[in-house]
Amino acid sequence: AQSVTQLDSQVPVFEEAPVELRCNYSSSVSVYLFWYVQYPNQGLQLLLKYLSGSTLVKGINGFEAEFNKSQTSFHLRKPSVHISDTAEYFCAVSDPGNQFYFGTGTSLTVIP
């Protein structure tokens, strides 16, 4: 079975500072990798995904993530955060059976 670990449950960061949200996964098969964002009282929205190809993936709202197969990581980064980036962020993997596995989430708080 696959599993996803988000190492930080809460990340406070000042506005306009860079941020990295960490995600590690374990899997014995090839997987797809995703980052989702959840704003208060809303469903999860896709930020970006890695299916194949370039290991650096760019998503919406200026976020990007890098797939590192040797370290089984898929960390999310943004060079300069905005107040509106305050939200819960979920890392997820899917396997060939279309099962999706989510991490426990990282709460990003951007401080003015």
Partner 1 sequence: DAGVIQSPRHEVTEMGQEVTLRCKPISGHNSLFWYRQTMMRGLELLIYFNNNVPIDDSGMPEDRFSAKMPNASFSTLKIQPSEPRDSAVYFCASSPGQYTGELFFGEGSRLTVL
Q: How far, in Å, CA of 84 to CA of 99, rounded?
A: 31
Q: How many other CB atoms are found less than 10 A from the CB of residue 88? A: 17
Using the rule CB under 8 A, is 22 a contact of partner 1?
Answer: no
Q: Tell me whether residue 76 or residue 81 sits nearer to partner 1 (CB atom).
A: 76
Give the x-and-dash track for 23-62 against partner 1 (CB under 8 A).
---------x-x-x-----xxxxx--x-x-----------
By DSSP bridging, strand 10-14 and strand 106-111 are parallel
Give the x-and-dash track for 72-101 against partner 1 (CB under 8 A).
------------------x-x-xxxxxxx-
Q: Where are the alpha helices (DSSP H) in 1-112?
A: none
